Chain A
Amino acid sequence: MTDRSPPVFLQRELYRARRLADAARLLPILGACLFALPLLWRGEGGEVSTSRAMLYLFAVWALLILAAALLSRRLGDIRERHGDGAEPD
């Protein structure tokens, strides 16, 4: 049974895969927090211009999309190399 155990570097990669999945799980929570953040903006006499809010929201949105694209690509690569079994739940 010793020859069936994966080499060390593979275990490290599987460990990475699990943490990637954790990151994928945390992403929507991060997104929800960032999207809710503008609700706290009350500074400077309660005046925040729409253009600033718009720039902030779209920037956050674009960053989240970028992060999701990178994460799903990495997760997909790992799945291709190790099959479905490597998928952490």
Chain B
Amino acid sequence: MPSLNLLVAVCLGYVAFLFLVAAAAERAAWRGRVGWLRGPWVYTLSLSIYCTAWTFYGAVGYAARSGLEYLTIYLGPTLIMLGWWWGLRKLVRIGRAQRITSVADLISSRYGKSTVLAVAVTLLAVVGTTPYIALQLQSVTLSFAAFAHPDPAGPPSADADATALWVAAGLALFTVIFGTRNLDVNERHHGVVMAIAVEAVVKLCALLAVGVFVVWGLGGGPSSMLDRIDASPELARWQIDGARWAGLTFLSAAAFLCLPRMFHVMVVENEDEGHLRTAAWAFPAYVLLMSLFVVPIAVVGLDLMPAGANPDLFVLTVPLASGQETLAMLSFLGGFSSATSMVIVAAIALSTMVSNHIVMPIWLRAAGGGATRSGDVRHVVLLARRVSIVGVVFLGYLYYRLSGGGTALAAIGLVAFAGLAQVLPAMVGGLFWRGATRAGALAGLLTGFAVWLYTSFLPSFGPGVVLSAGVMADGILGQGWLVPHALFGIGGMDPLIHSVLWSLTLNTAVFLAVSLLSFPQPLERLQGAQFVSALNAAGSPRGWRGGAAQTEDLMVMAQRILGAAEAQALFRREAGRQGLRGYLPEPTPEFLEVLERELAGSVGAATAHAMVGQIVGGLTVSVEELMAVADETAQMMEYSAKLESQRRELARTARQLREANEKLTRLSVQKDAFLSQISHELRTPMTSIRAFSEILRDAGGLEQRDQAKYASIIHDEALRLTRLLDDLLDLSVLENGQVSLNIREGGLADLLDHAVATALAGEAAGARLEVRRDRDAEDLRLVTDLDRLSQVFINLVANARKYCDADAPKLSIRVAERDGLLIVDFIDNGSGIPVDAQDVIFEKFARVGDQKAGGAGLGLAICREIMGRLGGTITYLPGQGGAAFRLGLPARAAMAAQ
């Protein structure tokens, strides 16, 4: 008998190994080496979280009690996978096209991005999954106890609760670390999926090893094993209740589609639709292997173990009783794997739903509807997820404690299946029927949920716990037709099948009836058309009418949710697609659609729609577009779409021409202004030089002190002239390409130190401009023309000093390396540069507003020329809450400090 300490050590070692696997997968994915990490095989193995501890240990117990009926739990999913061409393919394609994050998000998105539906499905999922998590904790606790107590029929260990608590805490920790490491726009978790795939291999190997040992080691080969099965007093006869056989197959098929954790690995984590092709046969093969040896283990267990031994633990106790401690240990790890992987994925899936559909809407409302306020909300989302994960796992633990971990829990698996299957009518109806409406889906869901609660979930605690024995026998309020296990007076059915039959029938009936009677809103009809015709990838109708949106406001919002770098890349890409430079694309319907989907990947469809709607102003669908949806003649649609796109193209070209024209006009005005400015700039020092030199020449007998003063004035003014002329000369040299670069190596931090010191040198002690820097990120070596680069830095810092009009001016200098570029951002907290001036500030002589600081408007033009010579860029970065300039240098100019 291995000691408990050894068992704990093996467990911890195994968990540490999983940590390493997950961390290595995350790192590989981060480096872009996804490759086989997300191939079809890993996808197939990740689907195996369907096989939880309930199936790992429980299948044998189930077989010992009810014969081959346990197979229904695997046959349902097998049929679903075999029918991938019909259902799963569509589901996965919609999931990818619409950036679906969970099953609640799917339902909500299909029915007009409804928040109410999302909340309803989320609550249903939490209620349905909690007992299941409790079941996993129970199975780990029981398997620990089986090792601790040699007597298999003995009482459960006293410290079972402590074991369950430790397991729950460990799982929550693992899930928080790998499930919420980043707020990925695709909601994919490479580390978690890899760990689950490894666990899938472990549990399959464990069960096969026990099976092989039982058949060849104890049973004497396959043929004598079959004889032994037929000789077994309990299992020899094929006695199957037809209703249960068909009903359970259907139920497990439904649950396979609706379980939040299955939906998560199958749809949300899916990397490539083509993976379904492999999974379509490989997953059925996996579950076939998982169920192959179940009956032999059950038969041998019933023979070998004393009467009264728990058949749920035969997988563990049969090897133990035969003295195969290593095998028992492997089997224990298999069960442990099944339990942990289920809890981890279920917690991730539920926390995504809870944070996206319950916490975020409340938070957005509480924050005063300010979608355009600055500040990052990603930490709020991540925090909400972490808290939800801990909450979900703790809820499971609580349920385990309250239910006493007894046999009541063992039956709850199918009850939970039945609860989650209530999503099925709304899901299937939404995928295949355009007429399904939000009101119908909500009514059906609530009806099914209520019937399930009353006929299955509440009675599952046993008579007298939640529902009194009187209610169980005579119905609520003595109404005979409301008896929980015999609704409408139809009794004598298996309670579970009774509940599934009534809840799903009434659910579907109400869903269909209300859908037929109600009228959908425009957005519902648009989404319905997109979902139902997802496979005929025709041009999708647009949900947004552009025009009123302020792109800069959208950028501020997108940065809060996607993160600054991703949002900037997205805006730049979309602007490029529209043929514009810079970071601000036109708020066309296409762009709004793309933006909303990106946001939906992080916070769910309903929240994303609401946030974009706040800024755009609710102009969603036009009558013409609705007609286009309703119009079945594809040619008409195609023709008008073509005309429409030509019109847009023309409008865009006209806009670009207008912009170019405006820019030319502005430049011409500026040039005139500059000439008068430059004359003025030249004349002012000239006048004072002339005046003071006349004084020196004509007024005799000046004191030494006055002479020196006048001479120094003349000197200063001459210097000012020289500086102006230097700038002009510098610029013309740069523009003509006559400059020769002096390439040297130096440190970025030193360069910035020097620039800041130089630019702020003129200021009084305790300089007003506060400069914030990140010393760690600046620890880079550069190979470039350091003097020229320094000139650019000085210019930008000096600009911030001169023009930042905040009360407490601050300048942040941020350094990052991205996409082969070294990026240095200079961001101050002033009022920034108005949109209409952003495209001319890099032109010569361009100056913004009133020139209190009196430059000649050459600084940024020189900067741009220098950066061009150094092979880099300088751009204005809008939407940062102040003036922001971004320098990009090719990475070969930079190398990490040795």
Contacts and interface: CB of A to CB of B under 8 A. Distances in A.
Interface residues of B, number: 41
B234 to A, nearest CB: 10
B237 A47 contact: yes
Given A38-B238, A61-B78, A25 B288 contact: no
B573 interface: no
Contacts of B227: 51
A39 interface: yes
Given A28-B86, A65-B281, A89-B536, A50 B230 contact: yes
Contacts of A10: none
Nearest to B537: A84
Contact of B281 (A51, A69, A84): A69
Report which residue of B71, B82, B226, B230 has the largest number of chain A beta carbons within 10 angstroms of its beta carbon.
B82
A39 B242 contact: yes
A50 B235 contact: yes
Contacts of B536: 89
B450 interface: no
Interface in B317-344: none
Q: State the majority secondary structure of interface residues on B.
A: helix
A62 B288 contact: yes
A35 interface: yes
B126 interface: no
Contacts of B584: none
B59 to A, nearest CB: 14
A89 B86 contact: no
Contacts of B55: none
| Residue from A36, A69, A72, A84 having most chain B Cβ neighbours under 10 A | A72
Nearest to A48: B238
Interface in B57-75: 67-68, 71, 75
Contacts of A49: 229-230, 236-238
Contact of A50 (B67, B86, B281): B67
A61 B284 contact: yes
Contacts of B282: 69
B89 to A, nearest CB: 9
A84 B226 CA distance: 48
Contacts of B68: 50, 53-54, 57
Interface string A18-57: 0001001101100110011011010000011111111101
A84 B273 CA distance: 11
A82 to B, nearest CB: 14
B229 A39 contact: no
Contact of B249 (A24, A35, A51): A35
B237 A68 contact: no
In this complex, which of B75, B238, B278, B288 has the most chain A Cβ atoms within 10 angstroms of its Cβ?
Answer: B238
Interface string A66-84: 1011001101100100001
A75 B235 contact: no
B80 A28 contact: yes
A53 B500 CA distance: 26
B86 to A, nearest CB: 6
Given A36-B246, A65-B288, A24 B238 contact: no
Chain A CB within 10 A, most for which of B75, B232, B235: B75
A15 interface: no
Contacts of A79: 274
A65 B236 CA distance: 27
A28 B245 CA distance: 17
A77 B227 CA distance: 45
Nearest to B227: A51
B285 interface: yes
A39 B240 contact: yes
B869 interface: no
B229 A51 contact: yes
Contacts of A75: 85, 277
A27 B86 CA distance: 10
A2 to B, nearest CB: 21
Contacts of B67: 50
B295 A54 contact: yes
Nearest to B80: A28
A87 B292 CA distance: 35
B280 interface: yes
Contacts of A36: 245-246
A39 B237 contact: no
Given A27-B82, A28-B83, A54-B68, A41 B284 contact: no
Nearest to A55: B226
Contacts of B237: 47-50
A38 B156 CA distance: 40
A86 interface: no
A52 B238 contact: yes
A14 interface: no
A48 B292 CA distance: 19
B82 A64 contact: yes
Contacts of B643: none
A27 B80 CA distance: 10
Contact of B226 (A25, A51, A61): A51
B21 interface: no
Contacts of B277: 72-73, 75-76
**Residue from the set B80, B83, B230, B240 with the largest chain A CB neighbour count within 10 Å:** B83
Given A28-B83, A31-B78, A39-B242, A51 B230 contact: yes
Contacts of A31: 78-79, 82
A52 B246 CA distance: 20
B466 to A, nearest CB: 35
Given A21-B85, A31-B82, A50 B75 contact: no
A24 B83 CA distance: 7
B469 interface: no
Given A36-B246, A89-B535, A25 B83 contact: yes
Contacts of B78: 31, 61, 64
Contacts of A89: 535-536
Given A39-B245, A76-B277, A50 B238 contact: yes
Contacts of A28: 79-80, 82-83, 86
A50 B236 contact: yes
A26 B468 CA distance: 48
B285 A65 contact: yes
A28 B84 CA distance: 9
Interface in B274-329: 274, 277-278, 280-282, 284-285, 288, 292, 295
Contact of B79 (A32, A51, A52, A55): A32
Nearest to A36: B246
A66 B285 CA distance: 9
Nearest to B86: A25
A26 B424 CA distance: 21
Given A76-B277, A84-B537, 14 more contacts: A24-B85, A28-B80, A28-B82, A36-B246, A48-B237, A52-B238, A53-B238, A58-B288, A62-B288, A65-B288, A66-B281, A69-B282, A72-B281, A75-B85
10 contacts: A41-B238, A49-B229, A49-B230, A49-B236, A49-B237, A54-B295, A58-B288, A62-B288, A69-B281, A87-B535
- State the 9 A-B residue pairs at the shortest beta-carbon distance, nearest first: A28-B83, A68-B281, A69-B281, A24-B85, A48-B238, A72-B277, A51-B226, A53-B238, A28-B82
Interface of B: 67-68, 71, 75, 78-86, 226-227, 229-230, 232, 235-238, 240, 242, 245-246, 249, 274, 277-278, 280-282, 284-285, 288, 292, 295, 535-537
Interface of A: 21, 24-25, 27-28, 31-32, 35-36, 38-39, 41, 47-55, 57-58, 61-62, 64-66, 68-69, 72-73, 75-76, 79, 84, 87, 89
